[in-house]
Structure 1
């Protein structure tokens, strides 16, 4: 899809898929903030990368000047986009992932329909299931004294919670995980793979919507189908397909990456691990700090017009990366930003974004992190990453560990 030559100049030729950047992007952000706070590249379809907190926040609020219609961080070649738009299956299944892919006014009413399902009280209704799930997963490996903390634990929780939320059979979870990896991880550099699994996911949810239309119930999908837009019109079922699509692509990889990054941190920082094992009251602030430090998500925006900002002209049609992880490491905003401070006060991180597109599912993600980590520490308080050099990370749209070997005293 693009040149994979080594980067010579991060100001004008950055590569978000560079292996060193994927392992640890913070040193690059630090250099760019001082020298070129809004960098540019022609790789992966071309994009601009802000690194300062104030700039990321300001750019994220530029709606619709920076349109949300193309939220992925890479752009397929023009001929691939033309083929996508000409594909009749997308006319049937739609291409939206509302509200994240929509600008006002559609963004407003689609978000309004989702928010009640992710309010604190609604999220609490999934706590018992999530707790049982975390314990069930740990029981499967606790006698072994070792586990892939990413693949066997962190990666297993969010897809099952989302399936529970949507009223879908949990047995489809392995498929969900594969689909999302093909879309948001492997597909970012392979547009044909990305498009293939966009079709797969949308066809799946189209069938879910058809079934709920024929057999409505009191669940999430039926509630969306029963909703209306701002003018009181019934919702097009294809729009609901897109809203369900969003639950999968936004609610799985992001949260499993956050859980996995937290396990990686505690497995490589024994003092922090020991502190959490003995001071469980720290969990609320610790989770916010882990979200800040290991913020997983970078979103894309498309310039709907020429934009002059910070001495940089962003031409119409250009992609801008909402670098929330980089903003969370800005020393102008956070004291000692490159340290995890478990009891950090006044933590105004932007791990969930900022502005009208701030993550609607943040309450659910926090609940999943809270249960996943508390349950782990209750049952496995003493653990470490056994082979740090073998840990693998995914980067690009969502950064997090994909293989995380952990060892601990086996249960007796």
Structure 2
């Protein structure tokens, strides 16, 4: 807890700890209960910060990089101080951010990721073959995570044998260990970040030594130059590749796991997807709305207002994207997956200058993964599921009972 700033109204204070270990359902229920107080509330946890739950408020903050910075020293887009190089480019602002973003956008162009369709589907079918005949599946470990990780490690051309180790480190870097104190969490996140950074340095050294020289994403980034023709500084290069790894291994699998958990509890939605494959792109957008994974923060650079609430210079503002995507002021039936939703302005990929560069890849992976799963599996239901909130929301596990799977590796 902290000494609460004088400009924070007492009637806007809520008891919210982003790292409390709440499930997604619990976190969303809390956010919904705060709406009676207003779209912007304050918590004293994690250094004290604002929490934005409205769609309009989240859009305002994320769209305005001048008033809400991503590059606060020792903080970036996190709620607490960090002892690491800030992530590149999401914890940069202005021209510096633009330079690095320019390098990455071509690597995730819709045309480039569409060329990966066959590979994505081959991996999906191979994974389904591993559990289809058994009649059960733990979605996170057996489908969503290995599919997303295999695709992204392939793009980077990093050893697939390191997948599980890297997934574990990515989870620790994002949320820390479960049920840990703030000090324990900070120590675990720092250690995980250091291990990831060293792993990245080893991969960079391989490329530069000529041991493994390829045309993969890692090599392209290493050979890239900034606007002035200079190479990317070593510390920024490591921070950039570290971010790509963490984002690639965690966020897409989170949405896929949440999607299959929802479908496993709603057989009518499951059947609709199976019988309307031409609508899968729109269905993916609805699941992105329903299961947004990342909850970014910003730092106010000047005194301002959000939804009529005074935000002081230096205040931390936490954008609860999942709550914004369930805002009844923006969406009819916000807690139900409406596959025929006419307008879907979800903010799962953020908005503004920091909108997710990897969105085209995520959409392609999600669409292919959902289609292949429902092409192979005639029906399935959830036996048990467990989720988590935090810096990135997702499923810990989703156990499915599967009926009548057609296995084609």
TM-score by length of 2: 0.89
1:405: Cα distance to partner? 0.8
1:67: Cα distance to partner? 1.6
Q: Secondary structure at the residue paired with 2:125?
A: helix
- State the alpha-carbon separation in 2 of the partners of residues 226 and 73 from structure 1: 30
Match of residue 242 from structure 1: 239
Match of residue 393 from structure 1: 387
List structure 1 segments (4+ residues) > 4 angstroms apart after TM superposition: 18-21
Structure 1 gap ranges (5+): 3-8, 85-89
The structure with the largest helix share of the pair is 1
Match of residue 14 from structure 1: 16
Deviations 1:49-69, CA, capped at 9 Å, x for gaps: 111111111111221332212
1:202: Cα distance to partner? 0.8
1:268: Cα distance to partner? 0.2
Structure 1's 20 and 172: CA in aligned 2 closer, same or farther, altered over 3 A?
Answer: closer
Q: Secondary structure at the residue paired with 2:35?
A: helix
1:325: Cα distance to partner? 1.4
Match of residue 161 from structure 1: 151
Q: How many residues align?
A: 389
Matched, 1:331 2:321: no
The answer (yes or no) to whether the contact 1:21–1:28 under 8 Å persists in 2 is: no
Deviations 1:168-222, CA, capped at 9 Å, x for gaps: 1111101111111111122595000000011011111112122222324322122
Match of residue 263 from structure 1: 260
The answer (yes or no) to whether the contact 2:298–2:317 under 8 Å persists in 1 is: yes
- State the alpha-carbon separation in 2 of the partners of residues 257 and 330 from structure 1: 21
Match of residue 8 from structure 2: none
TM-score by length of 1: 0.88
Q: CA RMSD in A?
A: 2.2
- State the alpha-carbon separation in 2 of the partners of residues 257 and 299 from structure 1: 16
- State the alpha-carbon separation in 2 of the partners of residues 158 and 10 from structure 1: 39
Match of residue 5 from structure 1: none
Matched, 1:315 2:312: yes
Question: Match for 2:111 among 121, 127, 131?
Answer: 121
1:337: Cα distance to partner? 1.7
Deviations 1:248-306, CA, capped at 9 Å, x for gaps: 12222111110000100110001111111222122111111111111121112123344
1:13: Cα distance to partner? 2.5
Question: Match for 2:402 among 390, 395, 408?
Answer: 408
Question: Match for 2:48 among 43, 46, 50?
Answer: 46
The answer (yes or no) to whether the contact 2:24–2:394 under 8 Å persists in 1 is: no
Match of residue 188 from structure 2: 193
Q: Secondary structure at the residue paired with 1:25?
A: helix
- State the alpha-carbon separation in 2 of the partners of residues 229 and 65 from structure 1: 26
